[in-house]
Amino acid sequence: MTKFSNHQTARSANLALCHDCHKLVSVNTEDTAVSCPRCGADIHFRKPNSINHTWALVLTALVLSFPANLLPIMQVNFMGTTDLSTIMDGIIYFFREGSYGIGLVILTASILVPWFKIIGLILILLSIRFRWQSWLKHKALLFRIIEFIGRWSMLDIFVIALLQVLVNFGSLTTISAAVAAPYFTGVVLSTMFAAITFDPRLLWDS
């Protein structure tokens, strides 16, 4: 079987894709500064410093994920009594109340999806670092899945915002985001930007 490295690529043919408008541009040499004739953006064969930026964002998400999951994310004040709940507390509550669908959705979107994205990106980055050339198509598919599911990771914040609107008992009850909310938002944004800064073509270069 012919190896992927023996196949001609756009890079070997001196063709580069504009990262802004996706126009295919002819480039004489990799060192020549070239601008896209359509949108004027700088042309690069690969996103500059893609690996370093992605590593920084993934490690940031990994560090933030611990306080995001261990600290309270929602605060409920009822008649002067304050109750703090973590993400897992909310999941357990919905399962105990028989709302298995809601509990499963929050479990998937708030815990499984962020960790899937972090572990998946680390696996892809390690694959490039150590030049693991097996399962390249599967790792490319993994990255596309990470890009697709990223939009669902803010569900917990949306739930808190929705509860603030629906639960309206005047001065008796108030619901607000607790200390873990900024950490959770940081996890979501870090993994989102990590997927944006990563150049999946580096998988095939390895």
List, for residues 181-202, the tens digit of each pLDDT value: 889 888 888 988 898 888 887 7
Q: Hunting for tokens 């996706």 — which residue is that?
A: 22
Contacts of 66 (CB under 8 A, 6+ apart): none
List, for residues 73-105, the tens digit of each pLDDT value: 877 776 667 778 888 888 888 888 888 887 888
> What structural domains does the chain harbor?
1-45 (no CATH), 49-205 (1.20.140)
- 3-class SS at 54? helix
| Pairwise CA distance, residues 125 & 129, whole Å | 6
Confidence tier at 172 by pLDDT (50, 70, 90): low
Least confident of 91-95, 113-117, 120-124, 194-198: 91-95
- 3-class SS at 192? helix
